Amino acid sequence: MIINGVPQKKPVFRQTFTQKKPLAPQNKAPLQSHPTARQTLPSGNFNDLKQKVISYIRASGPVIPIQIAKAVGSDTMFAGAVLSELISNRILKITSAKIGGSPVYYIPGQEEKLDMLKEHLGKIPKQAYELLKEHLIMRDSQCEPWQRIALRELKDFAMPIPVRHEDGSEEIFWRWHLLSEDDARDRIKAIVEGKAYRKVEESKPEPIKPMPEPIEPNPEPIKPVKPDVESQKTKEEQTKLESKEEKAKAEKPRKPKKEKIDAYKNELLSFLQQKGLEVLEEVGMKKGEYAFVVKVESALGKLSYLAIAKKKKKLSDDDVLLAYSAAQHHKLPLIVIAKELSKKAEALIAKEARGVAFLKL
């Protein structure tokens, strides 16, 4: 298996697409600040308000926006401006789940306190929440359909881990958000190998024993050696000859390396252009897969999507799930590009995977 494209001992896992620089902010504050909110408030007062908000959330978080506004003695417009800036600077985080229509703000490190959101989840997501908290790792292929959908909605608690096996097949596992990635990798390995998971405790290093001081022997007097003039001349001549050969090699012109032409990638770019999709950047994927951040014209203006294609005649439902997981990681809706979809993949897009568009290549 391969995880994150890194080969390891059997089986090898590939975690969720390695964290590169995010293409978009992880979360957006729902209290969008008024364009003149910061301009209306003097810079000194605005900075003071930021410190009050941070101090309050550090002491009382996670909290909802109305609690923040009341605690710092400000209205929602100024509180929204402060929260938007703190979110964009990654000082605060914001949840996907909501309390009474409002998301929850918290400081990194307060993830354990997000259990407060459990009572505000729907009936089915709450059941999936309890299952994942109990098992810590869940195998998507062994979940019931309602569990698969519910786990994809638990964005604050269920972290997807795509795994590729040695035979080329791929599947998704779900990690409880408080479980470390290393522990998750070991648990998934045990599940795939059909073994019972045992946590390996780190062994304490043994204390280093002091080395005995060496006893210096009595040095013998060194006899003077006469210089060998002839051998010295031979060495100098050999060194000159070697330097001439190296210069001759260096002077030879090097042939420029020919760049490999990726015909399939060029076909994809041409296809996207024909469909009127503007390619903003290419996202690094593993060999045989291609992902692009594109902009699509709509009635609401230009919208960003993650377009994913795989160099394969027919995409399976697992391929679609992995692409869906990648789009969730980048916080973007998904466009799947393929020549053909399997029946399971078509059913998945039609019923379970929300907001996924399919373009036939």
Architecture, CATH, for domain 2-9+116-193 = Orthogonal Bundle (1.10)
CA distances from residue 144 to 124, 326, 352 in whole angstroms, order as listed: 12, 22, 12
Lookup result for tokens 């060495």: 235
What is the CATH superfamily name and number for domain 264-360?
Answer: RNA polymerase, Rpb5, N-terminal domain (3.40.1340.10)
CA distance 291 to 168: 19
Predicted pLDDT of residue 139:
93
Q: Write the DSSP symbol of residue 101.
A: T
Cα distance between residue 69 and residue 29, in whole Å: 14
Question: For 111-135, what is the mean pLDDT?
Answer: 92
Tens digit of pLDDT for each residue in 225-273?
555 555 565 666 677 666 666 666 655 556 555 556 678 888 888 888 8
Helix axis angle, 43-60 relative to 65-72, nearest 10°?
120
Q: Does residue 23 have a pLDDT over 50? A: no
Higher pLDDT, 158 or 351: 158
Looking at the chain, how many residues does it have? 361
322 near 294, Cβ under 8 Å? no
Distance between the two ends of the chain, CA-based, in angstroms?
A: 29
Residue 273: what pLDDT?
A: 87
Around 30, how many Cα atoms within 13 Å sit in the side-chain half-sphere?
A: 14
Average pLDDT, the chain: 77
pLDDT: which is higher, 275 or 40: 275
pLDDT of 318 higher than 70? yes
Mean pLDDT on 205-233: 54
Identify any residues that bridge with 216 across adjacent strands, giving them in sequence order: none
The domain segmentation of the chain, as residue ranges, is: 2-9+116-193, 264-360
In the block, residue with structure tokens 């050999």: 238
Over 90: is that where the pLDDT of 136 sits?
yes
pLDDT at res. 30: 46
The per-residue pLDDT for 95 is 92
Mean pLDDT across the stretch 198-208?
A: 54
What global pTM score does this model have? 0.49
Note the pLDDT tens digit of each residue in 181-199.
999 999 999 998 888 777 6
Could you tell me which residues come within 8 angstroms of residue 10 by beta carbon, excluding any fewer than 6 positions away? Answer: 1, 166
Q: In this structure, what DSSP letter does residue 314 have?
A: S
pLDDT in the model for residue 82: 86
Kindly give the residue spans of alpha helices, DSSP state H, lying in the chain: 37-40, 43-60, 65-72, 76-88, 123-135, 145-153, 181-193, 229-251, 263-274, 317-329, 343-347
- Nearest of 335, 349, 279 to residue 307 by alpha carbon: 335
> Which pLDDT score, from 0 to 100, does residue 31 have?
45
As given in the structure block, the two tokens for residue 342 are 């399997």
Integer Cα distance of 336 and 321 in angstroms:
11
Across 193-213, average pLDDT: 60
3 state SS for 255-274: CCCCCCCCHHHHHHHHHHHH
Q: Per-residue pLDDT tens for 27-55?
A: 444 444 444 445 455 555 778 888 999 99
Q: How high is the pLDDT of residue 108? A: 92
Interatomic CA distance for residues 348 and 326, integer angstroms: 16
